[in-house]
């Protein structure tokens, strides 16, 4: 029996191969967009703003790494 995976272990969310910087940036872009929508829904405007900034930076990093963002 395998020991339980800690909740903070993100390896279960990532592909089996080593992710590239572009892969991580794309993942951050997706997550920050989801978090942005949650923050806006509850009118957490400053948090939504920071998430927008993080999302834009993640998009730029993914783009500069050659990842195609939809």
Measured between alpha carbons, how far is 19 from 43 in angstroms, rounded to an integer? Answer: 34
**Against a cut of 0.95, is the pTM above it?**
no
Q: What is the pLDDT of residue 6?
A: 58
Mean pLDDT of 61-69: 83
Q: What element of type H or E holds 23? A: helix 21-41
What's the full length of the chain, in residues? 70
Domain ranges of the chain: 29-70
CA distances to 3, 4, 5 from 12, in Å = 14, 12, 9
Range 44-49 average pLDDT: 98
């Amino acid at each position: 029996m395998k020991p339980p995976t800690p909740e903070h272990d993100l390896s279960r969310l990532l592909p089996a191969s080593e992710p590239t910087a572009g892969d991580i940036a794309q993942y951050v872009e997706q997550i920050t967009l989801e978090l942005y929508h949650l923050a806006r829904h509850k009118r957490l405007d400053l948090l939504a703003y920071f998430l927008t900034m993080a999302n834009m930076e993640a998009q730029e990093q993914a783009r500069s790494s050659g990842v195609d963002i939809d």
